[in-house]
Amino acid sequence: MGSRGRDADALMPLVTECADRLSKAMFPRYTCRLFEINASEDSIEVCGTELVLRGQSIKEHLEGCQKCVLLCATLSAGADKLIRQLEAADMAMAFVTDCLASSVIETVCDEAEQEMRSRLPKSYFTWRFSPGYGDLPLDLQGTFLNVLEAQKRIGLNVTESGMLVPAKSVTAVIGVSDRPIARAKQGCVGCNMYNDCKFRKGGDHCGS
Amino acid sequence: MDLRELLDKKQFIFLDGAMGTMLFEKGLKMGDIPELLNITKPEWIIDIHKQYISAGSDIFYANTFGANRYKLAKSGKSVEEVVKAAIDCAKKAAEGTDALAALDVGPIGQLLEPAGTLSFEEAYDIFAEIVRAGKDADLIVFETMTDLHELKAAVLAARENSDKPIITTMTFEQNMRTFTGCSVSAMANTIGGLGVDAIGVNCSLGPKELMPVVRELAENTDLPIVLKPNAGLPDTVTGAYSITPQEFAELMTELIPLGVKIVGGCCGTSPAFISNLRKAFAGKRYVKQQFKPFSVCCTPANTVVIDQPRVIGERINPTGKKRFKEALLSNDIDYILSQAIEQVHAGADILDVNVGLPGIDEKQMMVRVIKALQSVTDLPLQLDSTDPEVLDAGLRIYNGKAIVNSVNGEERSLNTVLPLVKKYGAAVVGLCLDENGIPKTAEERFAIAEKIVSRAEALGIGRENVFIDCLTLTASAEQEGVMQTLNALERVRRELGCQTVLGVSNISFGLPSREIVNSNFLTMALTKGLTLPIINPNIDAMMQSVRAYKLLANFDKGSKDFIAAYGSAAPQQKKAAEPADVDLPYAIANGLKGEGAKITEKLLETQPPMTIINELLIPALDKTGADFEKGKIFLPQLIQSAGVAQSCFEVIKSFLLKSGAKAESKGKIVLATVKGDVHDIGKNIVKVLLENYGYDVIDLGKDVDCQLVVDTAREQGVKLVGLSALMTTTLPSMEKTIKLLREQYPGCKVMVGGAVLTPDYAKEIDADFYARDAKESCDIAKLVLG
């Protein structure tokens, strides 16, 4: 919300009310599956599917991994609708709710990731890498969602320009290995916001 | 035998099981397009159909689920090729049997507006193309639908392009809603009215979990019920389903008492499921649900059952309202939305929508306003127009079951309006007047009501869908007529059993203290059996009468709603500080909307509008802007301050309109979220701020065609265009829009913003300004427009 860690007490009543509304309107869902992967020179093939992950960034991300988890999660159309309705009635609330929703969807992904981790106790995981990061193209969203049957299972769609609908949704690839992974943590350098990040400019980081 | 005969002659009709599950077993890869197999591996498809037919399917679904223009776009095959190949496979498989082949149509795979970018009209075209390509199928099935609007487009496309029977099923989750939030009752009451042959549910859950969904469906429809569940619940990680064919069949028989007629299986089921289903149902008898028609209107997420008085808000209507007329003439949809939201908060159940005004295209405006209203409120709408063409366009686009206002006893009206009501499955208000005007006596009005009801019933519109308006006359002019209205109303309610509508506010025209007359007349009418008062819900006295009546007449059980509205348990309304304690800068700095408006009203008594704007409003806004830049306040607070200023500007605007002057504008700005981009909250925040600095914003919305931006800017002589984009994939649209502007409308300045933009990139795509945030966009506007 632009507070960047500064004292924002005056905002708290508004935030609490928005959080309450959001929790009633949303219906978080996720689905994820484990696949074997097959690396070639400039891409990673997700075995048994039509999905090929292209680009240098995803190759680096999955280096040393034998498998990957494809994950998608959404807060549901209800969250989008609430934000849209608030935009017409009270823009400040809409903005706060939008920020909250962006944060909650990460929590839903954490939950999905946790389930996977508990099912694969002796494996090592990378952080979550999403289409659009680095040079992993956004136009694979359609195939990505088809592979997970995301439309049917969690109601997640993609527009022709590669946007997820509902908007408060995430798709991500997690590398899985039977050995410890060197680059298991995401740093600022790999982030899309690197040049423009307000946290970094303030000598801070966003925490992810 | 076709579907209609099967429904008559058989106890139960058996569908097939999963196609996808069977195809994966044959070697289909995940993420592949299964419909292409109709061409590349027809033998697989024919084999699967045959397996289902020999397992006992009366109807099987051709492999056409995703055979639409959008999903086949990159396949190199046309819809016609794929669908024809699929129907060929189906016909071959059915040769020598009685099995019927259904054209199977699933969701397009793109969400409709406002959630997505696909328009209702495009959705209709996509479905119409499939329906025409599949004309040789024996029936049409729409399944796994989650968006009511999309399903409505599909059913209309089928009805208008084919005469084959139609089955529709939607997919519900454990919260009794589809992914897009549609309820079971909304599906039943909307789609049931469009003339389908059977309605039901498929996919998502197993038979056991779907039981409450089927129960709600049976309470809301008289149509045969379809049930095609999954083989239990899937594992979130492996995707495997949980129950055996025997368990599945056993559980399905438990749903027979709820009215299930047409049964089959969805994901995870196989021919073994169908043969077990056959066995388990053998010897059992169909139990038709006991359904009693009732009055209802709805949107996908909100079904309003008229089993007690429901308030119809009257404020979306230009009659006698200068500000509203001005909004219609200047395409100010936001003002119309603000009128809706105010009534929603005041407690209206339904909103009347009238946008008729000489000098505007009423049909186009009706469609625009309905789309806009339905994107911000879940209240059902009552479409109010005297022009059947306007009603037709409105009913078509409306998402849910609407009310039409109105038909009357005139032949011309009966002949044009009632067929529309029937076609779109709406309810209708019947006015007790005819060629001879409004009759004086209760008896004559009752006679017209009777006529309207019988004409509606002759067309197949049940009387539960006819709401009679006995017409309020003005007490000051025709005092003796008041009781005639109420007596007619009482008879209609008692003898015809119809719902009753009454526009209440007319009663007091020409009298002082109108609220007193209105609220008392309302109470009188309610006790006579008025169920649908059309009132201004923003007037406390009116809602007080309604709430008190509902409490006293035992509708508001335990006085719950009454206490929620007026009791101490209700959250204490922020006590409005007296204008004397608070000045305008303070109200703006602290986000006090109501106070801001009140102070402005007071100030207007003594000061000229422009002085208030220039000496109080703008400096106060500048101060909050500066505080925001310094990090003293945060964006939500800046927006709240802007919201207060907006309410002050609104007061000033109304004041100027009343005095005949025109509000002074500091200049026009076009704003748009570029083509392909649907994230527009940032652009909307910019809009709020710009408006509060006195600029006229022409908001083109999201996913805006590049050329439309140029055309609008040129037509309106705009000097500044603001473009927003949130995704790297939509930046090319931004670049293209700027390029077109430079070519066709040079001289116009462009500012750009959005998460993925940087000052460097803005320069690269030839923008004049990069706006880091909403505040900066106001600074730019000041620079360009002053």
List pLDDT tens digits, range B484-520. 999 999 999 999 999 999 999 999 999 999 999 999 9
CATH of the domain at B372: 3.20.20.20
Q: Is residue B27 part of a domain?
A: yes
Tokens at B335, concatenated: 């003002």
Q: What is the CATH number of the domain that holds B627?
A: 1.10.1240.10
3-state secondary structure of A74: strand
As a whole number of Å, the CA-based R_g of chain B is 30
Best residue in B68, B111, B316 for a mutation probing chain A (most A CBs within 10 Å): B111
Chain A residue numbers touching B634 (CB-CB < 8 A): 1-3, 8, 11
**Structure confidence by residue, pLDDT tens digits, B255-281:** 999 999 999 999 999 999 999 999 999
3-state DSSP call for residue B256? helix
The answer to whether position B343 is within a domain reads yes
Walk me through the domains of chain A, giving residue ranges and CATH numbers.
28-75+105-180 (3.40.109.40)
With respect to residue B501, please indicate whether it lies within any of the assigned structural domains: yes
pLDDT at B573 over 50: no
pLDDT at A169 over 60: yes
Of A76, A87, A167, the CB nearest to B678: A167
Examine residue B375 and say whether the peptide bond preceding it is cis (omega within 30 degrees of 0). Answer: no
Tracing tokens 């008898």 back to the chain, one arrives at B285
Query: What are the backbone angles phi and psi of residue A157, rounded to the nearest 5°?
Result: -125, 170
User: Which residue from A minimizes the CA distance to B374?
Assistant: A85
Question: What pLDDT sits at residue B577?
Answer: 46
B173 contacts on A by Cβ (under 8 Å): 27
In angstroms, the CA B419 to CA A146 distance is 42
CB-CB under 8 Å, B114 with A1 = no
What pLDDT, in 10s, does the model give residues A86-101? 998 889 999 999 999 9
Minimal CA–CA distance to B699: which of B712, B651, B578?
Answer: B712
Residue B572 is predicted with a pLDDT of 46
pLDDT band for position B301 (cuts 50, 70, 90): very high
For all residues of chain A together, what is the average pLDDT? 86
> Does A80 or B577 have the greater pLDDT score?
A80
pLDDT bucket at A203, cuts 50 / 70 / 90: low
Within 135-174 of B, beta carbons closer than 8 Å to A belong to: 144, 146, 171, 173
Which residues on adjacent β-strands are paired with residue B523?
Answer: none
pLDDT of residue B617: 87
Average pLDDT over residues A56-66: 91
- Domain co-membership, B646 together with B675: no
Q: State the Cα–Cα distance between residues B617 and B632, nearest whole angstrom.
A: 20
Nearest residue to A192 (alpha-carbon basis) of B760, B764, B751, B758: B758
Nearest-by-CA chain B residue for A166: B115
Q: What is the pLDDT of residue B364?
A: 96
Mean pLDDT of B660-674: 84
Predicted pLDDT of residue B783: 92
pLDDT > 90 fraction of chain B, expressed in percent and rounded: 78
- Is the pLDDT at B11 greater than 90? The verdict is yes
Residue B95 CB partners (closer than 8 Å, separation 6+): none
> What residues 341-360 of chain B have any CB closer than 8 A to a CB of chain A?
341, 345
Contact B115 A153 (CB under 8 A): no
| B640 plus B753 within the same structural domain | no
> Which pLDDT band, with edges at 50, 70 and 90, does B117 fall under?
confident
Q: CB distance B181–A81 less than 8 Å?
A: yes
**What DSSP string describes B136-166?**
TSSEEEEEEE--HHHHHHHHHHHHHH--S-E
Q: Which domain holds residue B678?
A: 668-785
- Indicate whether B341 and B454 sit together in one domain: yes
Question: How far is residue B176 from each of residues B180, B183, B204, measured CA to CA in Å?
Answer: 11, 6, 11
User: Which of B65, B635, B730 is best to mutate for the A interface (most A CBs within 10 A)?
Assistant: B635
B573 assigned to some structural domain: no
- pLDDT, tens digit, for every residue of B27-78? 998 888 999 999 999 999 999 999 999 999 999 999 999 999 999 998 999 9
The pLDDT of residue B625 is 86
Q: Which of A34-43, B265-274, B517-526 has the lowest mean pLDDT?
A: A34-43
Residue B576: inside a domain, yes or no?
no
CATH of the domain at B158: 3.20.20.330
User: Where residue B574 falls among pLDDT bands split at 50, 70, 90?
Assistant: very low
pLDDT class for B533, splitting at 50, 70, 90? very high
In this structure, the answer to whether residues B541 and B595 fall within a common structural domain is no
CATH, residue B736: 3.40.50.280
Which residues, at least 6 apart from B209, have a Cβ–Cβ distance to it below 8 Å?
B174, B229, B233
Residue ending a domain, choose from B658, B686, B713: B658
* Residue B234 shares a structural domain with residue B366: no
CA-nearest residue to B703 within chain A is: A161
Range in B495-509, B539-553, B603-617 with the lowest mean pLDDT: B603-617
Closest CA to B153 of B185, B115, B127: B127
Among chain B residues, CA nearest to A52: B31
Same domain, B223 and B106: yes
- B375 has a pLDDT exceeding 80: yes
Q: B574 and chain A: CB distance < 8 Å anywhere?
A: no
Q: B419 at the A interface (CB within 8 A)?
A: no
* CA triple A172-A175-A176, angle to 5 deg: 130
Say if the Cβ atoms of B116 and A165 lie within 8 Å: yes
Query: Mean pLDDT score of chain B, rounded to an integer?
Result: 93
* Residue A183 reports pLDDT greater than 80: no
- Predicted pLDDT at B575: 46
**With bands split at pLDDT 50, 70 and 90, how would you rate the model's confidence at A207?**
low
Quickly list H helices, B492-539.
Answer: 514-528
Cis peptide before B114 (omega within 30 of 0): yes
Given B230, B261, B281, the domain boundary residue is B281
For chain B, the domain total comes to: 4
Q: DSSP of B373-428, one letter per residue?
A: HHHH--S-EEEE-S-HHHHHHHHHH-SSB-EEEEEESSHHHHHHHHHHHHHTT-EE
Confidence of residue B331 (pLDDT cuts 50, 70, 90): confident
| B270 and B394 part of one domain | no
Q: How much is the average pLDDT of B83-95?
A: 98
**CA of A90 vs chain B CAs: smallest distance (Å):** 8
Q: Looking at beta carbons, which residues of chain B come within 8 Å of A116?
A: 237
Res. A189 pLDDT band, cuts 50 70 90? low
Q: Do residue B361 and residue B460 come from a single domain?
A: yes
| Domain contains B303 | no
Q: What is the pLDDT of residue B576?
A: 47
State whether A119 and B237 contact (CB < 8 Å). Answer: yes
| Pair (B527, B617) in one structural domain | no
Please choose, from the candidates B565, B545, B564, B542, the residue with its C-alpha nearest in 3D space to the C-alpha of residue B553: B545
Closest CB from A90, A95, A147 relative to B30: A147
Contact B634 A27 (CB under 8 A): no
pLDDT in tens, B413-432: 999 999 999 999 999 999 99
The 3-state DSSP class for residue A73 equals strand
Winning range, highest mean pLDDT, from A197-206, B580-589, B621-630: B621-630
Inter-chain CB proximity A90 and B643 less than 8 Å: yes
From A64's Cα to the closest Cα of chain B, the distance in A is 23
Distances (CA, A) of B251 to B56, B79, B186, B213, B538: 18, 38, 26, 15, 51
Nearest CA in chain B to A83: B681
| Size of the A and B interface in Cβ pairs below 8 Å | 161
- B688, closest residue in chain A (CA to CA): A91
| Top-confidence residue, B368 or B622 | B368
What average pLDDT score do residues B706-730 get?
A: 92
The pLDDT of residue B3: 95
Percent residues over pLDDT 90 in chain A: 60
| For residues B202-207, average pLDDT | 95
pLDDT exceeding 70 applies to what percent of chain B? Answer: 98
Residues B547 and B590 in one domain: no
If you write DSSP's letter for every residue of B675-686 in order, what string do you get? TT----HHHHHH
Q: Is residue B295 part of a domain?
A: no
- Chain A: nearest CA to B71, how far in angstroms? 10
**What per-residue confidence (pLDDT) applies to A186?**
64
Mean pLDDT for B538-556 is 97
B164 and B258 both lie in a single domain:
yes
The structure tokens listed for B435 are 């060629």
- Work out the average pLDDT over B566-595: 69
Out of B345, B633, B729, closest to residue A162 by CB: B729
Measured between alpha carbons, how far is B370 from B353 in angstroms, rounded to an integer?
8
What is the least distance, in Å, from the CA of B786 to any CA of chain A? 25
Residues 364-383 of chain B whose Cβ lies under 8 A from any Cβ of chain A: 375-377
The reply to whether B536 and B389 lie within a common domain is yes
Domain membership of residue B559 (yes or no) is no
With 50 as the cut, is the pLDDT of residue B587 above it? Answer: yes
Q: Which of B557, B569, B561, B558 is nearest to B543 (CA)?
A: B561
> Is B563 in contact with B570 (CB distance < 8 Å)?
yes
User: Does A85 contact B117 at a Cβ distance shorter than 8 Å?
Assistant: no
